[in-house]
């Protein structure tokens, strides 16, 4: 007898017939009818009309029929709540059945009936089942608590089920323990603050014991729960790791991955000098490799996770390159992931092998895969300098194949190679130019145009080449248009005599005939630059470019740390935090790796607990291309978004990713500076030092800190300086300064209209900055600003804006809008506007803190030619909220001990050495100690400014 | 956790649909059909996110199994569960086909109710499931109280994979060492990568709750034992093999393996996979393929392949197959045992065809890794049979995995 016949009844009047059969006296017929109902339900037919008839079949001792009826109930109870009440009695009765299988079935089904009216009736049976003598019933009841909590959380708390569930963690049966852990973990997730899963060494011990005895699934629940625990010290972490490592030999890949998660997380706490640390690292590699012989879907999950692990701890798999070689029959998703990992593991030691493989892959059929392989060859060139030459020749071979997408991809990567190794491989340009006509993808066209522009002086017919692109200018994509504009300007600056016409043409195409604002803006910038100051134009446009990064597509370190906590889960597959794809409150708890805490050291010194891995180990991430100007132009007046950096379209200027997010936590505004986590040298913030020069003579040095005389009411106020010259802002000139008076910071602005039209609708916005400075009120310009009129405005600021570390630290990027356009400028604010009024530290505290901050954080400066005595220095500094805590006289020298606090709670301690009465020694010696040593330089500048004015 | 589980036929018609969580609506069934099964392009990932709902799928012949969730579930667990689900179904009704699924849909619902509770996988060992989920459906009144509690204690117990009271007249066990050799060789005959992935499959017909101990020529164990007598070490050292990594069936006590490297367990009744392992060192490659490919002009390809065997002449290899890939539009293949000539029709000169590697299939009666079973001891203290009474059989089979030579 088969069941497939139930799927075939589709005739009319079916419901009516079924109704009759359901009410038949014959058991067999009844069962047949219920099966038909379930079959209809599966294919999506509405059989809810049969509810009372099906429920009538519930009271039976035939387990199969009972299960079918329950299945029906789970599906339709919600749409028929009143009818569902009819089932309550049977449930209550079944929960007392002598057969444990029936008791469990009842309690399991009960929880799936999501009808409020019913849930109340179910509390008593559930309570009994939680204490049932049979473990099968208990393990089912444990899950039922989670079900009930999903329907009515309050009810579960009121009924005390959570406590019963907690007791089940000590149950004698391992499967009951595992299900209780699973249920509690889920409930705890929706109450992040509650201490529901009260994990302590005792309960951890219980879980570890159950781990050895329960089913494979139970082991996963327990390991995933363990991963949320933070051991109190390295010894506890090690002992847990020791008991978890045997799981690495489990046949179930999920058990292995969850064990890897626990180990990766707790490893953070182990000292690298420990023998055990090395042992553990060695133990991790083989199981990870074994995962690659699992079914392809699991391989995919494993590879996505290995991608994270390789970024976090490259040493684990550095010798395992071969296992990531692509097999001909791998599914495409496995191939692409393997390729990704191959690039990450490429090093000088294995580069020959890797290149040979990549070359092989580049002849495959799948277009995506081939492209990625070609791109990978370029990455190798950039990553391993010794291989660059071989990579370039491989790429040239590939270009010779004339396969269209291979050629285009190769040109895109060769452009990157040129940027990394300037003036080294220009001999290949001729070959590249031969393929100009076959390029039809914007990225490849843009790359080729960039190459022509960059090396215009060596390409004899550069003007012809670029001119050929110009013909269809308006049909090109923005990326190509922008690149073409820049390339022709470069060409003009290099060969001004022959190309004047060409540059005129492109400028007018970009500014007058285009309606793309980005293109127009850039066109105008070039135009003005070229017409006002060609020398400056040359400096800006042909500025030396910062290095491009060796590693690309690296996951931002704080996100990486979070994802390590999610190994094995969907988050690790998507490479996104759960909040990005999970709705509602669930799973949005931010997880982070445990800090390293050695049991032998006192846990009070926060220096030993950096939030991430030691910075030395992280590869320096230089932000990918995307230029300052490009990003400034992208900066909208909407809220700042952490969007991706501008694509490779514009690489001719200083590269810094203004909007890259994620550094917030590094600069977190702690209410208390002491004891809180402090700055960690952020690996992602290694911004090229020549940022300033890339801005040309433009903006950064406009604000002259040392000029002029300030008023001494409140903090020192520098005279206004021109921040935005009228020339650059269609006639709007902005000058300004910063003040701090009785606790409030403001930006004093002077707006002058040097244009011929009236200006209205002013608005201002700041980009994210190091200390979260933001306008506290909108920019109020009451009347329209007529030509030649000037208005003075004081804009109150607060420090609760978004935080992103800037370089230099006190850099502030501002956008101002009026009815004409949006203008951007950047300025440096003096740090003393951030010194708060309650920055005076208690003497004892000062002494303790001074000792506590490690010596490497101490910075020494000299303040030259300052003929003031101790009193004068002290009072002058105090008016800017630098407080003298103590004063000492040592061998005729006055020592001032001072403290100050920044708005984000960072304390800076200072020792100032003054030699009074010695006219030949007017230099002051300043020692600064701070947990965030980056600020010292700027604090010193503030001292200079205050003392010299 | 898993919010729902759907099974579709190749047309995308839903055969089984079981929803476990309230956040998964009926439209999820259609979303998967439209976006994955009926998708115009080939699926590029086994995990698909559609409107904040994640779908995990595996395919068995032309049947799609999809697990769906809205939470950050353990992805590895979901796939392991889907495979397990396939194993369980196969154990009940054989091949997973539309016909079989329709014929057993009540059973499948019953299984889904048992092995997945609120989306949490529960005991899914077929041995245990078969005691209380039967095709006919058990009548509760026929079970005694002891039988019932025996079932529940087995399902939840420490030894969930074996029930008590098994009796055989003849205690017998079979061990199969099944290995697949994987090779990737360059056209010049250089080994790019090679590894053996092996499985030890045991079929046991043993009475009671037998305690078993399995031993093989694992280098680490041999060296540990041979510490005292250096002579023995050097002798046995040759025969021992270095195992890169191994994983075990859940019956094996992992902590014991971790500390003593001994493999001890109480086996499930019948057939199961005791362990999987991987080796990369000193692999005996049974065959060498030496390709010589010449493209003669634009329309002709000459392929010469030499195969050399690399084992004792007394052993016989079987099921030997050499696959020489040719372009789709190949015609006029001249084939003989010694050489093959292939002619090509003109192809587009800009788009080269990718030349896939030459692959081989074979089966040899030895373990290419060199693994040897040293012993499998059986102790059953409660019943009166000893290790000597058990009839044991060992068999070695080496098969080709992905055995490719690029050309």
**CATH code at B196?**
2.60.40.1170
For residues A861 and A878, give the distance between their C-alpha atoms in angstroms, rounded to a whole number: 20
Q: Which residues of B touch A190 (CB under 8 A)?
A: none
Query: Does residue B157 lie within any of the structural domains?
Result: no
Topology of domain A834-948 in CATH is TATA-Binding Protein (3.30.310)
Candidate from A35, A136, A147 with C-beta closest to B152: A136
Of residues A620 and B128, more confidently modeled? B128
CA distance A809 to chain B (A): 38
CA distance B388 to chain A (A): 30
Contacts of residue A305, defined as CB under 8 A and 6 or more positions apart, other chains included, come to A257, A260, A567, A568, A572, A573
Q: Which of B363, B331, B340 is nearest to B291 (CA)?
A: B340
- Mutation pick from A358, A369, A570, A586 vs chain B, by most beta carbons of B within 10 Å, is A570
CA distance A860 to chain B (A): 50
Contacts of residue B66, defined as CB under 8 A and 6 or more positions apart, other chains included, come to B5, B6, B7, B8, B32, B36, B55, B56, B57
Of residues A645 and A164, more confidently modeled? A164
Q: Which residues of B touch A139 (CB under 8 A)?
A: 122, 156
User: Which of the residue ranges A41-45, A185-189, B113-117 would you say has the lowest mean pLDDT?
Assistant: A41-45
Of residues A48 and A297, more confidently modeled? A297
Q: Which residues of B touch A574 (CB under 8 A)?
A: 47, 49
Tell whether the model's pLDDT for residue A654 goes beyond 90: no
| Residue range A529-542: mean pLDDT, rounded | 87
Tell whether the model's pLDDT for residue A642 goes beyond 50: no
Candidate from A43, A333, A566 with C-beta closest to B45: A333
ipTM of this predicted structure: 0.83
Q: Which residues of B touch A329 (CB under 8 A)?
A: 402
Q: What is the pLDDT of residues B212-245, one digit of tens each?
A: 999 999 888 888 776 544 444 444 445 789 999 9
Q: Which of B126, B155, B190 is a domain's end point?
A: B126
Q: Which residues of B touch A62 (CB under 8 A)?
A: 137, 139-140
Q: Which of B126, B148, B178 is a domain's end point?
A: B126
Q: Which residues of A touch B254 (CB under 8 A)?
A: 212, 246-247, 249-250
Tell whether the model's pLDDT for residue A668 goes beyond 60: no
Tell whether the model's pLDDT for residue A711 goes beyond 60: no
pLDDT at residue B221, rounded to an integer: 86
User: Which of the residue ranges A9-18, A815-824, B35-44, B211-220 would you say has the lowest mean pLDDT?
Assistant: A9-18
CA distance A255 to chain B (A): 8
Whether residues B338 and B398 fall in one domain = yes
Using 50, 70 and 90 to split pLDDT, how confident is the model at A685? very low
Contacts of residue B318, defined as CB under 8 A and 6 or more positions apart, other chains included, come to B362, B363, B364
Contact A919, A867 (CB under 8 A): yes
pLDDT at residue A142, rounded to an integer: 95
pLDDT at residue B335, rounded to an integer: 55
**Contact flag A4-B79 (C-beta cutoff 8 Å):** no
With a pLDDT cut of 90, the percent of chain A lying above it is 27
Contacts of residue B313, defined as CB under 8 A and 6 or more positions apart, other chains included, come to none
Contact B278, A289 (CB under 8 A): yes
- Mutation pick from B143, B156, B188, B250 vs chain A, by most beta carbons of A within 10 Å, is B156
Using 50, 70 and 90 to split pLDDT, how confident is the model at B201? very high
Q: Which residues of B touch A245 (CB under 8 A)?
A: 258
Q: Which residues of A touch B402 (CB under 8 A)?
A: 327-329
Structural domain range at position B93: 4-126
Domain boundaries, given as residue ranges, for chain A: 346-438, 441-532, 721-829, 834-948
**Contact flag A246-B83 (C-beta cutoff 8 Å):** no
**Contact flag B155-A136 (C-beta cutoff 8 Å):** yes
Tokens of A32: 């047949």
Residue listed under structure tokens 């071979």: A397
Tell whether the model's pLDDT for residue B375 goes beyond 60: yes
Alpha helices (H) in A313-387, listed in sequence order: 332-345, 351-361, 367-383
Q: What is the pLDDT of residues B242-263, one digit of tens each?
A: 999 999 998 999 988 988 889 9
For residues A327 and A323, give the distance between their C-alpha atoms in angstroms, rounded to a whole number: 10
Measured from the Cβ of residue B367, the count of other Cβ atoms closer than 10 Å reads: 22
Query: Does residue B205 lie within any of the structural domains?
Result: yes
B-chain residue closest to A297, CA distance: B46
Whether residues B286 and B399 fall in one domain = yes
**Contact flag B72-A581 (C-beta cutoff 8 Å):** yes
Question: What's the CA angle centered on B236, arms B232 and B239, to 5 degrees?
Answer: 170
Whether residues B211 and B340 fall in one domain = yes
Q: Which residues of A touch B218 (CB under 8 A)?
A: none
CA distance A89 to chain B (A): 20
Beta bridge partners of A751: A734, A791
Whether residues B63 and B177 fall in one domain = no
How many domains does the structure of chain B reveal? 2
CB neighbour class for A844 (10 Å; exposed up to 12, middle 13-18, buried from 19): exposed
Contact A622, A645 (CB under 8 A): no
pLDDT at residue A658, rounded to an integer: 34
A-chain residue closest to B7, CA distance: A42
pLDDT at residue A691, rounded to an integer: 38
With a pLDDT cut of 70, the percent of chain B lying above it is 87
For chain B, give the mean pLDDT: 85
| Half-sphere exposure for A552 (CA within 13 Å, toward CB) | 18
**Contact flag A583-B70 (C-beta cutoff 8 Å):** yes
With a pLDDT cut of 70, the percent of chain A lying above it is 84
Q: What is the pLDDT of residues A260-301, one digit of tens each?
A: 999 999 999 998 888 999 999 999 999 999 999 899 999 999
Contact A475, A507 (CB under 8 A): no
Inter-chain Cβ pairs, chain A and chain B, closer than 8 A: 293
Q: For chain B, first and last CA: distance in Å?
A: 47
Q: What is the pLDDT of residues B14-44, one digit of tens each?
A: 999 999 998 888 889 999 999 999 988 877 8
Residue listed under structure tokens 């179904």: B89
Whether residues B221 and B358 fall in one domain = yes
Q: What is the pLDDT of residues B300-323, one digit of tens each?
A: 777 888 888 899 989 989 888 888
pLDDT at residue B279, rounded to an integer: 94
**Contact flag A573-B75 (C-beta cutoff 8 Å):** yes
Of residues A607 and B370, more confidently modeled? B370
Whether residues B102 and B184 fall in one domain = no
Query: Does residue B150 lie within any of the structural domains?
Result: no
A-chain residue closest to B72, CA distance: A570
| Residue range B353-367: mean pLDDT, rounded | 85
Instruction: State pTM to two decimals.
Output: 0.70
Q: What is the pLDDT of residues A67-78, one digit of tens each?
A: 888 888 888 888
B-chain residue closest to A335, CA distance: B44
Q: Which residues of A touch B244 (CB under 8 A)?
A: 286, 289-290
**Contact flag B72-A568 (C-beta cutoff 8 Å):** no
Q: Which of B383, B188, B156 is nearest to B293 (CA)?
A: B188
Candidate from B49, B113, B195 with C-beta closest to A67: B113
Q: Which of A881, A925, A703, A906 is nearest to A805 (CA)?
A: A906
Tell whether the model's pLDDT for residue A585 goes beyond 60: no
CATH of segment(s) A721-829 = 2.60.40.1150
| Residue range B324-338: mean pLDDT, rounded | 65
Of residues B225 and B365, more confidently modeled? B365
- Mutation pick from B46, B51, B75 vs chain A, by most beta carbons of A within 10 Å, is B75
Q: What is the pLDDT of residues A91-145, one digit of tens each?
A: 888 889 888 888 999 999 988 888 887 888 889 999 999 999 999 999 999 999 9
Of residues A913 and A614, more confidently modeled? A913
A-chain residue closest to B249, CA distance: A251
Q: Which of B43, B3, B48, B50 is nearest to A573 (CA)?
A: B48
B-chain residue closest to A106, CA distance: B113
| Residue range A204-230: mean pLDDT, rounded | 92
| Residue range A514-532: mean pLDDT, rounded | 90
pLDDT at residue A567, rounded to an integer: 95
Candidate from A139, A186, A322 with C-beta closest to B156: A139
Whether residues B57 and B184 fall in one domain = no
For residues A456 and A468, give the distance between their C-alpha atoms in angstroms, rounded to a whole number: 15
For chain A, give the mean pLDDT: 81
Query: Does residue B337 lie within any of the structural domains?
Result: yes
Q: What does chain B come to in residues?
A: 407
| Residue range A399-413: mean pLDDT, rounded | 90
Of residues A384 and A703, more confidently modeled? A384
Q: What is the pLDDT of residues A451-504, one digit of tens each?
A: 999 888 888 888 888 888 888 888 889 999 999 999 999 999 988 888 888 999
Tell whether the model's pLDDT for residue A918 goes beyond 70: no
| Residue range A737-755: mean pLDDT, rounded | 85
pLDDT at residue A127, rounded to an integer: 93
User: Which of the residue ranges A310-319, A502-511, A770-779 would you say has the lowest mean pLDDT?
Assistant: A770-779
Q: At what angle do helices A296-312 and A557-564 cross, to 10 degrees?
A: 130
pLDDT at residue A644, rounded to an integer: 37
Whether residues B53 and B176 fall in one domain = no
pLDDT at residue A675, rounded to an integer: 38
Of residues A917 and B132, more confidently modeled? B132
Candidate from A61, A258, A404 with C-beta closest to B74: A258
Tell whether the model's pLDDT for residue B368 goes beyond 50: yes
Tell whether the model's pLDDT for residue B363 goes beyond 70: yes
Whether residues B272 and B212 fall in one domain = yes
Contacts of residue A639, defined as CB under 8 A and 6 or more positions apart, other chains included, come to none
Of residues B165 and A182, more confidently modeled? A182
**Contact flag A108-B117 (C-beta cutoff 8 Å):** yes
Tell whether the model's pLDDT for residue A180 goes beyond 90: yes
B-chain residue closest to A325, CA distance: B193
- Mutation pick from A359, A573, A587 vs chain B, by most beta carbons of B within 10 Å, is A573
Whether residues B217 and B72 fall in one domain = no
**Contact flag A301-B76 (C-beta cutoff 8 Å):** yes
Of residues A712 and A255, more confidently modeled? A255
Q: Which of A192, A115, A119 is nearest to A154 (CA)?
A: A119
Using 50, 70 and 90 to split pLDDT, how confident is the model at B81? very high
C-alpha dist (Å) from residue B92 to A176, B58, B127:
27, 19, 11
């Amino acid at each position: 007898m088969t069941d497939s016949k139930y799927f075939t009844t589709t005739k009319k009047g079916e419901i009516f017939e079924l109704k009759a059969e359901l009410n038949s006296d014959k058991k067999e017929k009844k069962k047949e009818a219920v099966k038909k109902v379930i079959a209809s339900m599966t294919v999506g037919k509405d059989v809810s009309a049969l509810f009372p008839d099906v429920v009538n079949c519930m009271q039976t001792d035939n387990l199969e029929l009972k299960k079918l009826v329950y299945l029906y109930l789970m599906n339709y109870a919600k749409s028929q709540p009143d009818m569902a009440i009819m089932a309550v009695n049977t449930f209550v009765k079944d929960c007392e059945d002598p057969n444990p299988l029936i008791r469990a079935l009842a309690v399991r089904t009960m929880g799936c009936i999501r009808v409020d009216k019913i849930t109340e009736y179910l509390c008593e049976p559930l309570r009994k089942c939680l204490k049932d003598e049979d473990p099968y019933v208990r393990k089912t009841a444990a899950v039922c608590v989670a079900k009930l909590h999903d329907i009515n959380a309050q009810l579960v708390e009121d009924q005390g089920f959570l406590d019963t569930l907690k007791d089940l963690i000590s149950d004698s049966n391992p499967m009951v323990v595992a299900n209780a852990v699973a249920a509690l973990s889920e409930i705890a997730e929706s109450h992040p603050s509650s201490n529901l899963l009260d994990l302590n060494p005792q309960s951890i011990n219980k879980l570890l014991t159950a781990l050895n005895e329960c089913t494979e699934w139970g082991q996963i629940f327990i390991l995933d729960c363990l991963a949320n625990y933070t051991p109190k010290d390295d010894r506890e972490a090690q002992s847990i790791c020791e008991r978890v490592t045997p799981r690495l030999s489990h046949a179930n890949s999920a058990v292995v991955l969850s064990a890897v998660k626990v180990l990766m997380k707790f490893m953070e706490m182990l000292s690298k000098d420990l023998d055990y640390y090395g042992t553990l690292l060695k133990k991790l590699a083989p199981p990870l490799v074994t995962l690659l012989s699992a079914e392809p879907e699991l391989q995919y999950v494993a590879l996505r996770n290995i991608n994270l692990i390789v970024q976090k701890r490259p040493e684990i798999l550095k010798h395992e390159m071969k296992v990531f070689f692509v097999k001909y029959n791998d599914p495409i998703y496995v191939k692409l992931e393997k390729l990704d990992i191959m690039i990450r593991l490429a090093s000088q030691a294995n580069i020959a092998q890797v290149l040979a493989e990549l070359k092989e892959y580049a002849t495959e059929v799948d277009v995506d895969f081939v492209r990625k392989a070609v791109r990978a060859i370029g990455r190798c060139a950039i990553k391993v300098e010794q291989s660059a030459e071989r990579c370039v020749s491989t790429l040239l071979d590939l270009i010779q194949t004339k396969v269209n997408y291979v050629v285009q991809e190769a040109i895109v990567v060769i452009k990157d190679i040129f940027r990394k190794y300037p003036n080294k491989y220009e001999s290949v340009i001729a070959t590249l130019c031969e393929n100009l006509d076959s390029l039809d993808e914007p990225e490849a066209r843009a790359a080729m145009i960039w190459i022509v522009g960059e090396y215009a002086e060596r390409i004899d017919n550069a003007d012809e080449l670029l001119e050929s692109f110009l013909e269809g200018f308006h049909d090109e994509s923005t990326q190509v248009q922008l690149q073409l504009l820049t390339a022709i300007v470069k060409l003009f600056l290099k060969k001004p005599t022959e190309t004047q016409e060409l540059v005129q043409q492109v400028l007018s195409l970009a500014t007058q005939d285009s309606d793309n604002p980005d293109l127009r803006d850039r066109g105008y910038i070039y135009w003005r630059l070229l017409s006002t100051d060609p020398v400056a134009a040359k400096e800006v446009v042909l500025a030396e470019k910062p290095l491009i990064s060796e590693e690309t597509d690296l996951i931002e370190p704080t996100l990486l740390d979070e994802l390590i906590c999610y190994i094995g889960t969907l988050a690790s597959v998507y490479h996104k935090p759960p909040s990005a794809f999970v709705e509602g409150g669930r799973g949005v708890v931010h997880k982070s790796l445990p800090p390293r805490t050695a049991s032998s050291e006192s846990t009070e010194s926060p220096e030993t607990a950096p939030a991430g891995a030691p910075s030395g180990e992280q590869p320096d991430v230089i932000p990918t291309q995307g230029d300052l100007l490009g990003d400034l132009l992208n900066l909208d007046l909407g809220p700042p978004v952490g969007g991706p950096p501008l694509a490779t379209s514009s690489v001719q200027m200083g590269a810094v990713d203004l909007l890259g997010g994620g550094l917030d936590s590094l600069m977190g505004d702690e209410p208390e500076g002491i004891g809180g986590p402090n700055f960690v040298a952020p690996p992602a913030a290694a911004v090229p030092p020549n940022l300033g020069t890339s801005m040309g003579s433009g903006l950064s040095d406009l604000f002259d800190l040392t000029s002029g005389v300030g008023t001494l009411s409140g903090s020192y106020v520098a005279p206004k300086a021109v921040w935005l010259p009228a020339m650059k802002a269609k006639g709007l000139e902005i000058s300004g300064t910063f003040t701090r008076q009785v606790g409030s910071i403001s930006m004093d602005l002077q707006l002058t209209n040097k244009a011929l039209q009236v200006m209205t609708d002013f608005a201002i916005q700041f980009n994210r900055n190091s200390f979260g400075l933001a306008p506290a009120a909108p920019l109020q310009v009451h009347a329209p600003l007529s030509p030649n009129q000037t208005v003075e405005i004081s804009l109150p600021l607060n420090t609760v804006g978004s935080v992103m570390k800037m370089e230099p630290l006190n850099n502030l990027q501002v956008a101002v809008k009026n009815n004409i356009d949006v203008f951007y400028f950047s300025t440096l604010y003096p740090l003393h506007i951030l010194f708060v009024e309650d920055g005076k530290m208690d003497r004892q505290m000062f002494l303790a803190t001074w000792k506590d901050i490690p010596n490497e954080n101490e910075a020494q400066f000299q303040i030259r030619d300052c003929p003031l005595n101790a009193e004068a220095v002290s009072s002058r500094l105090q008016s800017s909220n630098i407080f003298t805590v103590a004063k000492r006289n040592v061998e005729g020298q006055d020592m001032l001990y001072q403290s100050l606090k920044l708005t984000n709670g960072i304390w800076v301690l200072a020792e100032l050495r003054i030699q009074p009465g010695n006219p030949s020694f007017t230099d002051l010696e300043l020692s600064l100690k701070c947990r965030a040593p980056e600020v010292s330089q700027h604090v010193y500048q503030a001292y200079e400014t205050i003392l010299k004015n | 956790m898993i919010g729902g589980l759907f099974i579709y036929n190749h047309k995308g018609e839903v055969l089984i649909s079981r929803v476990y969580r309230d956040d998964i609506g009926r439209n999820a069934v259609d979303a998967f059909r439209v976006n994955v099964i009926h998708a115009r392009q080939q699926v590029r990932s086994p995990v698909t996110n559609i409107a904040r709902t994640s779908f995990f799928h595996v395919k068995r012949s032309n049947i799609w199994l999809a697990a769906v969730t809205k939470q950050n579930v353990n992805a590895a667990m979901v796939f392991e569960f889907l495979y397990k689900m396939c194993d369980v179904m196969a154990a009940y009704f054989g091949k997973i086909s539309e016909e079989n699924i329709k014929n057993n849909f009540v059973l499948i619902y019953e299984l889904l109710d048992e092995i997945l509770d609120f989306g949490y996988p529960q005991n899914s060992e077929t041995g245990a499931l078969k005691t209380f989920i039967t095709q006919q459906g058990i009548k509760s009144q026929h079970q005694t109280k002891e039988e019932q509690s025996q079932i529940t204690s087995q399902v939840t117990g420490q030894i969930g994979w074996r029930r008590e009271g098994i009796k055989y007249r003849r205690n017998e066990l079979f061990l199969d060492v099944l290995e697949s050799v994987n090779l990737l060789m360059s056209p010049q005959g250089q080994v790019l990568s090679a590894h053996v992935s092996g499985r030890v499959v045991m079929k046991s017909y043993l009475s009671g709750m037998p305690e078993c101990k399995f031993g093989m020529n694992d280098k680490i164990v041999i060296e540990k034992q041979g510490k005292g007598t250096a002579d023995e070490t050097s002798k046995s050292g040759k025969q021992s093999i270095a195992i890169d990594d191994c994983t075990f069936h859940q019956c094996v006590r992992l902590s014991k393996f971790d500390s003593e490297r001994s493999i001890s367990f109480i086996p499930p009744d019948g057939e199961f996979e005791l362990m999987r392992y991987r080796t990369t060192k000193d692999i005996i490659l049974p065959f060498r393929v030496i390709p010589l490919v010449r493209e003669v002009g634009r329309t002709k390809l000459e392929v010469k392949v030499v195969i050399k065997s690399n084992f004792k002449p007394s052993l016989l290899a079987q099921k030997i197959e050499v696959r020489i890939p040719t372009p789709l539009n190949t015609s006029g293949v001249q084939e003989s045992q010694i050489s093959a000539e292939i002619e090509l029709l003109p192809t587009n000169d800009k788009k080269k065809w990718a030349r896939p590697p030459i692959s081989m299939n074979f089966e040899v009666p030895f373990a290419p890794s060199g693994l040897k079973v040293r012993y499998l001891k059986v102790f059953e203290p409660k019943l009166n049979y000893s290790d000597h009474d058990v009839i044991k059989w060992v068999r070695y089979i080496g098969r080709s995995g992905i055995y490719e030579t690029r050309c």
